[in-house]
Structure 1
Amino acid sequence: MDKLAEFTENRSRLFGLAYRLLGEAAEAEDVLQDAYLRWEASGPVEVPGAWLTKVVTNLCLSRLTSARARREKYVGPWLPEPVFTDDGRLGPLETVEQRESLSIGVLVLLERLTPAERAAFVLREAFGYRHGEVADVLDIDEAHARQLYRRAREHVGEHRRRFAERPGHREEIVRRFVAAAGDGDVAGLERLLAEDVVAWSDGGGKTSAARHPVVGAAPVARLYCGLANHPRAVGIEVSIRAVNGEPAIVVHQAGDLYLIVCFDFAGDRIVGVRGVLNPDKLAYASAQETHAESRQA
Structure 2
Amino acid sequence: MPTQQMLFIGGLHRSGTTLVERIIGEDPDVAALRDTGVLMNEGQFLQDVYPTDEELGGGTEKRGSVVGWAFNPRSHMTEHDVPDPQRTADELRAAWTPYASAPGARHLVEKSPANIMRMRYLQEVFPDCRLIAVRRHPIVYALAVRKWAPRHIKIGFGFGELVRHWLAAMDTFEEDLEHLRNVRVISFEELTHEPESVRAELEEHLELTELSLPEELVPSPPRRYVDYWKELASASPWRPVRPLNSSARPKPIAPETLEAVVASAFGKQTVRRTIDRYGDAMKRHGYDPEVLDRSFRPQYLN
TM-score, length-scaled by structure 1? 0.29
**Which has the larger share of strand?**
1
- The higher-RCO structure (CA 8 Å, 6+ apart) is 2
